[in-house]
Structure 1
């Protein structure tokens, strides 16, 4: 899924539905090519270590902590939540793709 190719809220919902909230914490991030990823944060790893392991991160949203309800099928079905995440990614990508460094987002539009 890529923000340069008109990523839809439905695409984003499918990404969230693939993961399980109860298993691990997750990080939603965008690579410098516009690819949107939702990856688990390995147990014991802090966000800063995660960022260092993936040098192509351009945008990163706050961590979705295990058991908080922000990942999984239930989160994917929450159209308001997915819409806000989608809008945030879309708007921030316009800024981030032409500015170096990691853009950390801790709130939604």
Structure 2
């Protein structure tokens, strides 16, 4: 999913469904080129594996703790949650947010 290329709610749902809520906590972040990532987040590494290169990071939207229902297939069934998450991504991308943006969700 890339925020510069007509992103859709369906693309976000596919991304959220692609991870296992019961296996890991996950971090949702956007790179400077608009790519949206949802990566495992482990306390022992302090960062998601894919966003270790902070030079490419635009913003971090949120960290979703393990087994709280914010990621995985079941989360995509909550349309209100998915609409809110999609809207936040779009707003922060358009506002050119940098750093941590998670206080807004």
Aligned mates of 2:80, 2:63 — CA distance in 1: 19
1:49-100, Cα deviation, whole Å (9 max, x unpaired)? 869722211111121000111010000111110100100110110112xx6x
Query: Please, which runs of 5 or more residues in structure 2 have no aligned partner?
Result: none
The DSSP-based 3-state class of the residue aligned with 2:60 is: strand
Distance in 1 of aligned mates of 2:50 and 2:8: 25
1:46-61 aligned within 5 A: 46-47=46-47, 53-55=52-54, 56-61=56-61
Q: How many residues align?
A: 104
2:34 is the counterpart of 1:37: no
Where has structure 1 moved over 4 Å in runs of 4 or more? 49-52
TM-score normalised according to structure 2 size: 0.87
Query: How far apart are residue 104 of structure 1 and its match?
Result: 2.4
Name the counterpart of 1:104: 101
Partner of 1:8: 8
State the TM-score, normalized to the length of structure 1.
Answer: 0.84
In structure 2, how many angstroms separate the alpha carbons of the residues matched to 1:22 and 1:15? 16
Structure 1 residues 79 and 102: CA distance shift in structure 2, 3 A: same
Q: CA RMSD in A?
A: 2.0
Structure 1: segments with no counterpart, 5+ residues: none
